[in-house]
Amino acid sequence: MEQSAEDYKLIFEKEGVYLHTNAKRSNQDTSIPGFIRIVERAGLPALEWSPLEHDSRNAPAVLYSKKDGDGGEEDTNFDPGYEPDWAVISTVKKEREHVPVKNSGQWAFSLPLSELYSLRRSRFSLGRNFLVLTSRGGHPLPPLHFHRGGTRELLRALQRYIILDPSPLDGRLFLAYPQDSGTLPQSFDRLQFLDDGGIDLVSIMHTESKMGSAKNETTRASNRFHQVKSSGISFQPYAVRFIHDPYATTFGGFSKVTNFFRAALRPPESPIHTRTPQDPSLPPQSDEEPGFELITCGVELGPKPDVTRGPPLDKWEEFLDSEGRVTCPEKIKELVFRGGITHSLRKEVWKFLLGFYPWNSTAKEREDILRVKTDEYFRMKVQWKSVSEEQEMRNSLLRGYRSLIERDVNRTDRHNTFFSGNDNPGLTLLHDVLMTYCMYNFDLGYVQGMSDLLSPILFVTQNEVESFWCLTGFMELVHQNFEESQEAMKQQLLQLSILLKALDPELCDFLDSQDSGSLCFCFRWLLIWFKREFSFEDILTLWEVLWTRLPCENFHLLIACSILESQREELIGSNHDFNTILKHINELTMKLDLQSVLRGAEAIYLQLFLCKELPVMVKQVLGLYVPPSSEDESPDSQASETQRVLSQSQEGAAASNPACGPSYP
């Protein structure tokens, strides 16, 4: 008998939710795309998952266009892969009707919310939120992977019907209770660890634990459970849940006790769950958020300090002693961080910032270094230059590198006079340096985007050898961005989300509600250090500021935070969705004011640094966290540099001063 339209009501729906039939082997064969829904059937709420219909009309089509395509013609088969710099979203088609779905397919399920016992969150990698649902019968359902985020949005919708109490011992675990569980009998029901007549499984665990190490306690208790069960003793749901999921059940018991007393001792005027998600007039409450967060700041950040940028470094000889040794490297870095470098000095100073020359080297030592490095460069260049066409035909890897380099060189910064026109010697240098880098680091070889990193260096040095060794210094900082595993990029996006969550939880909530919580639209920013977001001249300034590694090594993440905060009103106020967020971020190219972004990034750092109760995860991203065991290292090493930057920002821009001593206390 079909469900009538009057009996069915769709409350919430989220697509792109993958059900994993085998959590240990996550691949295309074990993951099934589908929809997660909250529905009301005959007034009873249920959580349902159903597989994605094969009908193409139910799938959103995202059309990409190549930048160098013929006439900008759309190509639905073009896949930008992990490096979306070569494509922009041009058209998004999303036509799908909400159709009531019951069980369809082998793995589809419909779980009444009254039967939902617990929710456990796992995050195996960035952007891969897994939810494991457990019924009150103790049966865990297959893990659900939210491919484009949205766990927080789902949990807000669930809170219309149930209360999700986080475990005080594990933020990943949540126990589900009826929304009307405020009465005394129901509150005590939440404390029923064992139903009437239930076996004391805790005693079984205690007895069995005396027989060996803690590693095997759960296994032996499980065996004992089955022995007792076979004798005819009746077990209640708690014991069943324990055997199926001892982790959730154990922590769930502690959570019940804690939350019961927390509710009992809370003053009447501040109830735990009086605010509904549909009430926008009230400020967000920390208790409302179910905790599917990378971080919950939990502290009030003070106002952002006023930050003043300074003039560029315009003196160099005054910082050298009689032998040509740099006397005050830290002072130079501070001045570069504060204002950049005048263009006439970049050719010299960049070689120090990028490690081609040691800061303590003399002029004579630098001559020797240049001679040795020149010989080494041309030895590597001869290696690929001497490969015959016949040899290259049998070397697919080298042939692939050459093809990719030739393609990218022809479209890198062609608007710049140094690389414009046909048969430009600048293009030849760009090609040769990148090919030689393949010989220098054959494991990494060439990856799209590396030409963007080299072109400003080559433009400044206008020297093949020096640009190569400066590129190797730059790649020491960012080479992990280009590795095939992309673990470094995932880690940086994770760190960025940690910072943004501490700075602006409301913006994070909005992005997550629009499937953008993974911050994937920032991928290009971090991959090539904002090369496509600012003008060529601004990039020269931005990179030399970042190369100082002040005030922390992850200052580029604060740059990203500064940009996002500058766009928060546009993003939230215009009510962008997933697709228009991507479009808006892409359209920021060449529209950002670098000095304003730099001031904002430094102000964010100082605001976080001055917070007395900064979460450990944020400290780790900023390099401010020192483990308690590291007693032999002073925790003031990083703070001392920060204090200098803080003092500098408060005093205003410092004039260039050849004196050795830093101008900061």
pLDDT of residue 130: 74
In a domain, 320, yes or no: no
Is 582 found in the same domain as 461? no
Interval 435-493: pLDDT, tens: 999 999 999 999 999 999 999 999 999 999 999 999 999 999 999 999 988 999 999 99
391 or 140: which carries more pLDDT confidence?
391
Instruction: Name the domain boundary from 130, 147, 178.
Output: 178
Interval 381-401: pLDDT, tens: 999 999 999 999 999 999 999
pLDDT of residue 60: 34
In a domain, 92, yes or no: yes
Q: What token pair was written down for 176?
A: 């589900």
Is 492 found in the same domain as 468? no
For residue 267, whether the previous peptide bond is cis, meaning omega lies within 30 degrees of 0, is: no
CATH number, domain containing residue 573:
1.10.472.80
Q: What is the mean pLDDT of residues 525-541?
A: 96
In this model, does residue 102 exceed pLDDT 60? Answer: no
DSSP β-bridge partners for residue 51: 34
Closest-CA residue to 577 (of 516, 524, 493): 516
- pLDDT winner (highest mean) among 244-248, 408-412, 649-653: 408-412
Q: Give the neighbor-by-neighbor strand order of the sheet with 87-93.
A: 74-75, 61-66, 87-93
Is 466 found in the same domain as 586? no
Residue with tokens 């250090």: 529
574 or 471: which carries more pLDDT confidence?
471
Burial of 238 (0-12, 13-18, 19+ CB in 10 A): buried
pLDDT of residue 25: 52
Which CA distances in Å does 423 have to 414, 420, 434, 654?
Answer: 12, 9, 17, 45
110 or 636: which carries more pLDDT confidence?
110
Q: What is the mean pLDDT of residues 21-49?
A: 79
Q: What token pair was written down for 11?
A: 């409350």
Q: What is the mean pLDDT of residues 197-223?
A: 39
Q: Which helix (H) or strand (E) holds 239?
A: helix 237-244
Q: Is-contact 314 508, C-beta < 8 A?
A: no
In a domain, 646, yes or no: no
Q: What token pair was written down for 243?
A: 């055997």
Q: Which residues of 149-172 are buried (b: 16+ CB within 10 A; e: fewer)?
A: bbbbbbbbbbbebbbbbbbeebeb
Q: Which helix (H) or strand (E) holds 19?
A: strand 8-20
Is 69 found in the same domain as 139? yes
What residue numbers bound the domain in which 467 lies?
341-477
In this model, does residue 623 exceed pLDDT 90? Answer: yes
In a domain, 299, yes or no: no
Distance of alpha carbon 82 from alpha carbon 602, whole angstroms:
29
Is 170 found in the same domain as 23? yes
Q: What is the mean pLDDT of residues 526-541?
A: 96
Q: Show contacts of 299-302: CB within 8 Å, 24+ apart.
A: 299/611, 299/612, 299/613, 299/614, 299/615, 301/502, 301/503, 301/607, 301/608, 301/611, 302/607, 302/610, 302/611
pLDDT of residue 294: 38
pLDDT of residue 171: 65
Percentage of the chain surpassing pLDDT 70? 64
Phi-psi region at 529: left, alpha or beta (left = phi > 0; alpha = psi -120 to 50): left
3-state secondary structure of 127: coil
pLDDT of residue 595: 97
In a domain, 40, yes or no: yes
In this model, does residue 87 exceed pLDDT 50? Answer: no
pLDDT of residue 356: 97
3-state secondary structure of 334: helix
Sequence-ordered list of residues with C-beta below 8 angstroms from that of 114, at least 6 positions apart, any chain: 44, 178
Instruction: Name the domain boundary from 459, 477, 495.
Output: 477
Q: Which helix (H) or strand (E) holds 429?
A: helix 425-440
Q: Is-contact 617 638, C-beta < 8 A?
A: no
Confidence of residue 128 (pLDDT cuts 50, 70, 90): low
- The domain tally of the chain equals 3
Residue type, 73: E
Residue type, 166: P
pLDDT of residue 90: 31
Percentage of the chain surpassing pLDDT 90? 45
* pLDDT, averaged across the chain: 74
In a domain, 207, yes or no: no
Q: Is-contact 308 600, C-beta < 8 A?
A: no
Is 526 found in the same domain as 424? no
Distance of alpha carbon 517 from alpha carbon 520, whole angstroms:
8
Is 148 found in the same domain as 90? yes
Is 382 found in the same domain as 504? no
Closest-CA residue to 324 (of 298, 283, 352): 352
In a domain, 607, yes or no: yes
pLDDT of residue 627: 81
Q: What is the mean pLDDT of residues 127-133?
A: 69
Distance of alpha carbon 626 from alpha carbon 616, whole angstroms:
9
Burial of 109 (0-12, 13-18, 19+ CB in 10 A): middle
Euclidean distance between the first and final Cα of the chain, in Å? 80
CATH number, domain containing residue 398:
1.10.8.270
pLDDT of residue 125: 43
Interval 302-359: pLDDT, tens: 899 999 999 999 999 999 999 999 999 999 999 999 999 999 999 999 999 999 999 9
Is 109 found in the same domain as 41? yes
Is 12 found in the same domain as 155? yes
3-state secondary structure of 581: helix
608 or 16: which carries more pLDDT confidence?
608
In this model, does residue 100 exceed pLDDT 60? Answer: no
Closest-CA residue to 344 (of 457, 460, 471): 460
Instruction: Name the domain boundary from 178, 199, 228.
Output: 178
pLDDT of residue 524: 94
Interval 584-594: pLDDT, tens: 999 999 999 99
Interval 38-80: pLDDT, tens: 999 888 999 999 887 643 333 333 232 333 434 444 333 333 3
Is 160 found in the same domain as 20? yes
DSSP 8-state class, residue 101: -
In this model, does residue 16 exceed pLDDT 90? Answer: no
pLDDT of residue 422: 82
Query: How distant is the alpha carbon of residue 150 from its chain centre?
Result: 15
Confidence of residue 643 (pLDDT cuts 50, 70, 90): low
pLDDT of residue 177: 84
Closest-CA residue to 19 (of 28, 36, 31): 31
| Torsion angle of the four alpha carbons 215, 217, 218, 223, in this order, in degrees rounded to the nearest 10 | 130
CA angle (568 as vertex; 36, 159 as ends), nearest 5: 30
Q: Is-contact 557 437, C-beta < 8 A?
A: no
Sequence-ordered list of residues with C-beta below 8 angstroms from that of 486, at least 6 positions apart, any chain: 82
**Phi–psi pair at 93, nearest 5 degrees:** -110, 125
Q: What is the mean pLDDT of residues 363-386?
A: 97
Q: Is-contact 312 341, C-beta < 8 A?
A: yes
pLDDT of residue 20: 82
pLDDT of residue 631: 45
In this model, does residue 266 exceed pLDDT 90? Answer: no
CATH number, domain containing residue 72:
2.30.29.230
Is 496 found in the same domain as 409? no
Confidence of residue 168 (pLDDT cuts 50, 70, 90): low
In this model, does residue 142 exceed pLDDT 90? Answer: no
In a domain, 146, yes or no: yes
Sequence-ordered list of residues with C-beta below 8 angstroms from that of 279, at least 6 positions apart, any chain: none
Q: What token pair was written down for 621?
A: 């991203």
